[in-house]
């Protein structure tokens, strides 16, 4: 589903903590529409890399480009407004609100809302109807219409995951960073969650940190392997599986 156009480019990215380089001269390009996984042992720098992309951490050196523009010094909210969506490791769901209210809130706060300010000022009802319609579409898409009026806290586990993905979708991102969305899940729950992400976020570019290698191999368009802050290998699942360095350093032969 890629079209060869770069959506995210990292050029010579370095992040040091004191004398220690958690990310060391990393350059990589992610194409629009791609499903890219970032793997590597604990401490490899995966979360740090995501924090540099989202703007949660300032870079020490190097440049971040998104959608053809440099965003290296942009704040996290500015990056969200440009279309970099947050993962749901930090849950965006309000437990006391209904499923519908959660989706509606996210749709209202979507990144394009600032561009619609004038329009929503002069035609508030138009925006209201538009958001209601969008909310309904998203509820259908995540298959939660039947529990739309229930409190988020009352949802079964799997439905809660659906809602979290729906909230991400409602903010209308171009790129979504998923930092271990399946942490603490069983193998089956992990599979269902990743399948759902792939099924629902079809128009988005996905960047995923995931420990389940089998799943990563099955679903990714390309994989970036980090080791000690550096890119050890990058390629299709087939290329990564055959890579000697990866086998030695990470997959244990």
Min dist. Cβ of residue 66 to ligand ADP (A): 20
Closest CB to ligand ADP among residues 48, 193: 48
Question: Is 249 among the residues that bind ligand ADP (CB under 6 A)?
Answer: no
Question: Is 186 among the residues that bind ligand ADP (CB under 6 A)?
Answer: no
Mark residues 9-28: x for contact with ligand ADP by CB under 6 A, - for none.
--------x----x------
Of 6-14, 40-48, 137-145, 167-175: span binding ligand ADP (CB under 6 A): 40-48
Determine if residue 207 is left, alpha or beta; phi over 0 gives left, psi from -120 to 50 gives alpha, anything else beta: beta
Of 41-49, 78-86, 93-101, 108-116: span binding ligand ADP (CB under 6 A): 41-49
3-class secondary structure per residue, the chain: CCCCCEEEEEEEEEEEECCEEEEEEEEEEEECCCEEEEECCCCCCHHHHHHHHHCCCCCCEEEEEECCEECCCCCHHHHHHHCEECCCCCCCCCCCCEHHHHHHHHHHCCCCHHHHHHHHHHCHHHHHHHHHHHHHHHHHHCCCHHHCCCEHHHCCHHHHHHHHHHHHHHCCCCEEEEECCCCCCCHHHHHHHHHHHHHHCCCCEEEEECCCHHHHHHHCCEEEEEECCEEEEEECHHHHHHCHHHHHHCCCC
Chain centroid to CA 201: how far?
10
Question: Is 47 among the residues that bind ligand ADP (CB under 6 A)?
Answer: yes
Interface residue with ligand ADP, options 3, 4, 19, 42 (CB under 6 A): 42
Question: Is 232 among the residues that bind ligand ADP (CB under 6 A)?
Answer: no
Measured CA to CA, the distance from residue 211 to residue 194 in angstroms comes to 12
Report phi then psi at 61, rounded to 5.
-150, 155
Min dist. Cβ of residue 146 to ligand ADP (A): 37
Closest CB to ligand ADP among residues 49, 176: 49
Question: Is 55 among the residues that bind ligand ADP (CB under 6 A)?
Answer: no
Min dist. Cβ of residue 249 to ligand ADP (A): 13
Min dist. Cβ of residue 203 to ligand ADP (A): 27
Cβ-contact 244, 229 below 8 angstroms:
no
Of 45-53, 61-69, 105-113, 199-207: span binding ligand ADP (CB under 6 A): 45-53
Min dist. Cβ of residue 25 to ligand ADP (A): 15
Interface residue with ligand ADP, options 30, 44, 93, 215 (CB under 6 A): 44
Question: Is 43 among the residues that bind ligand ADP (CB under 6 A)?
Answer: yes
Contact footprint for ligand ADP (CB under 6 A):
17, 22, 40, 42-48
């Amino acid at each position: 589903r890629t079209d060869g156009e770069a959506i995210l480019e990292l050029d010579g990215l370095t992040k040091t903590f004191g004398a220690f380089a958690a990310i060391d001269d990393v350059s990589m390009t992610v194409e629009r529409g791609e499903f890219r996984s970032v793997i590597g042992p604990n401490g490899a720098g995966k979360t740090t890399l995501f924090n540099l992309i989202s703007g949660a951490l300032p870079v020490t050196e190097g440049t971040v480009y998104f959608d053809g523009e440099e965003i290296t010094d942009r704040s996290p909210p500015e990056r969200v407004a440009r279309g970099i969506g947050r993962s749901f490791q930090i849950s965006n769901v309000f437990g006391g609100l209904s499923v519908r209210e959660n989706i509606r809130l996210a749709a209202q706060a979507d990144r394009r809302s600032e561009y619609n300010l004038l329009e929503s000022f002069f035609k508030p009802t138009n925006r209201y109807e538009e958001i209601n319609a969008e909310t309904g579409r998203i509820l259908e898409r995540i298959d939660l219409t039947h529990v739309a009026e229930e409190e988020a806290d009352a949802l079964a586990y799997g439905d809660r995951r659906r809602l979290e993905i729906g909230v991400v979708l409602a903010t209308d991102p171009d790129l979504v960073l998923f930092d271990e969305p399946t942490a603490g899940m069983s193998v089956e729950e992990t599979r269902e969650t990743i399948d759902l992400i792939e099924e629902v976020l079809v128009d988005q570019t996905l960047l995923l940190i995931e420990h389940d290698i089998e799943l990563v191999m099955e679903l990714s368009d390309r994989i970036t392997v980090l080791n000690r802050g550096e890119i050890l290998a990058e390629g299709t699942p087939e290329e990564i599986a055959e890579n000697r360095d990866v086998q030695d350093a990470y997959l244990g032969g």
